[in-house]
Amino acid sequence: MATNSSITFWDQVQSLEFLQDIFNLMHIRQIMALSVIHLNLLCLFPQLSIHQGVSHTWLMQRAHQ
């Protein structure tokens, strides 16, 4: 009985690690995709970066108040 439960426990741990690996890969791919899109937008619309910088500093000021 004990050996059976330990096997299922390790199966669960391995599946959790597998899910974590998949999640990490998806996260990395998402960051890469977002950064590529961001760079493309900056190339197409240079003025967007200025607006984004202004809105970012405004948001930071609002957050610290």
Structural domain total, the chain: 1
pLDDT tens figures, 3-41: 556 668 878 888 888 888 888 889 889 989 988 888 887
Find tokens 């299922």 and name the residue.
8
Residue 62 pLDDT class (50, 70, 90 cuts) = confident
The gap from C-alpha 22 to its chain's centroid, in whole angstroms, comes to: 12
Please say if the pLDDT value at position 2 is more than 70. Answer: no
Residue 59 pLDDT class (50, 70, 90 cuts) = low
Task: Show the domain range for 51.
Answer: 2-64
Residue 3's contacts (CB-CB under 8 Å, 6 or more residues apart) are: none
3-state helix/strand/coil string of the chain: CHHHHHHHHHHHHHHHHHHHHHHHHHHHHHHHHHHHHHHHHHHHCHHHHHHHHHHHHHHHHHHHC
